[in-house]
Chain A
Amino acid sequence: MKHKDVIDEIEKFIFFGTPLSNDAIAHIEQCLECKNYYEKALKFNEGLKKLRDVSSNVSSKINLDTKKIDLLSTKKKVGYLSFLVFTGKIRKILITFSIALIILISSFLVNVSIQDYWSNSADEVVGNASMIMYDTVYSGLEKDEVLLEEW
């Protein structure tokens, strides 16, 4: 039997499970190269079976993580909304709203502080004026003159 035919038979054995012919087995026993190839092919075949076992074992232990799915589910409205807050349009709306709120509050505070400043200045002016008047009255001027000054 030719060397190439034996290799073909080994390939068919691995991938299609076709048993080797007696001629091929006899050749493999004589040819060292084919023997090594056949041994590797056997290992490959065995490895493929074990890989299927590993895969089915792992697969049987896998459960669907319902927490993640539930979060996205429309049935869980609260979860879905909280998810939207962090991902969707609501976040943008919230950001815009909070920026507007900050601007409003800050403008209100600025307004109040300006008003407070000016009202304090006015009190000071009135206070100074009354002190002057007080000084004038008791510095010996006539009451009428003072009154006139007031006018």
Chain B
Amino acid sequence: MDIEHLLSDAFEEFKSMLTGYFVSNKVKIHDVEDLVNDTFTLAWKYRNTLKDKDKVKSWIFSIAKNVLVGYKREFARRRRKEITLDEYNEDMVEAPMVEDDPYDEDVNLVLDLVNKLPSKYKDVFILFYVDQKSISEISEILGISEENCKVRLFRARKRMMDILGKENEA
């Protein structure tokens, strides 16, 4: 199967995964569609750079990560423009990106906890618990071994419970 057909077929499969990934990373709901489409447009544009077609999932996920980084950077830049220099505070750049908060308290609790995790644990956690992918699928998507994937997931859970416990004590 050539890469064009592979990408066309992959859209339906990947769009739910990418949506879960972007939503969990606190992207505004109305921007999620743009980011998913940006990911696929970039994948289509650079389709000839994909050497190993078996790694298409991992390739698309890495594009999505770059798209998210670009979005966050742009968001931070816009925020910095909006506030005056006197009011500027580094914490504001890291503040949640969901301005028009469509979520309730429970979802925000999850988003806050998830976004306190380091990136490598966060990705595994989102793919497993939000996108409901299996360990073998996650290892394929992230390009890591299944054992490594299990370790990361275990540590992600551990950290998550530590944060929850600390918040409970506070």
Contacts and interface: CB of A to CB of B under 8 A. Distances in A.
Q: Would you call the interface of chain B mostly helix, strand, loop, or mixed?
A: helix
Interface in A63-85: 63-65, 68-69, 72-73
A51 B168 CA distance: 22
Interface stretch (A20-28, A42-50, A115-123): A42-50
A51 B164 contact: no
Contacts, number: 99
A55 B133 CA distance: 14
A55 B109 contact: no
Interface in A48-105: 48, 50-52, 54-56, 58-59, 61-65, 68-69, 72-73
Contacts of B111: 47, 51
A51 B41 contact: no
Nearest to A39: B168
Interface bin, chain A? 20 to 34
A59 B110 CA distance: 19
Nearest to A56: B16
Contacts of B169: 33
B161 A11 contact: yes
B164 A37 contact: yes
B110 A54 contact: no
Given A43-B109, A47-B110, A68-B41, 19 more contacts: A11-B157, A33-B169, A37-B164, A40-B168, A44-B106, A44-B110, A50-B103, A51-B107, A52-B130, A54-B107, A55-B23, A58-B33, A62-B32, A62-B36, A62-B37, A63-B33, A64-B15, A65-B41, A69-B40
